[in-house]
Amino acid sequence: MTTIGADSVPRLRRGVRLTYDKVRSTHVLLFPEGVLVPNPTAAAVLELCDGEATISVITQRLGKKYSGVRESDVLDVLARLGDRRVVEWT
């Protein structure tokens, strides 16, 4: 397992796509093994996983949009998505 920290750079794995499902009125994460419906918090984090921004930068960007954003929470969300093999680290 990769140790992730503030300077880690997440991105969606190859074959994984975040899209908005108009029928469900929510974001869905499509990947070869299935579909994952992330909660709004996870979707906001995933939208910023471009393979260039560090977790610190992602946290700062989310902090401009939402109040009370903590880096530890962003790390937790990304660690769980990494365990599901939809996010990888560059």
In sequence order, which residues have a C-beta less than 8 Å from that of residue 4 and are 6 or more positions away? 10, 55, 75, 78, 79, 82, 89
Span 26-47, pLDDT tens digits: 999 999 989 999 999 999 999 9
Residue type, 87: V
Domain ranges (residues) in the chain:
10-85
Per the confidence metrics, is the pTM higher than 0.85?
Answer: yes
Tokens 């979707």 found at: 43
C-alpha–C-alpha distance, residues 18 and 29, integer Å: 5
Q: Which CATH number describes the domain made up of 10-85? A: 1.10.10.1150
Residue type, 9: V
Q: Do 32 and 83 contact (CB within 8 A), yes or no?
A: no
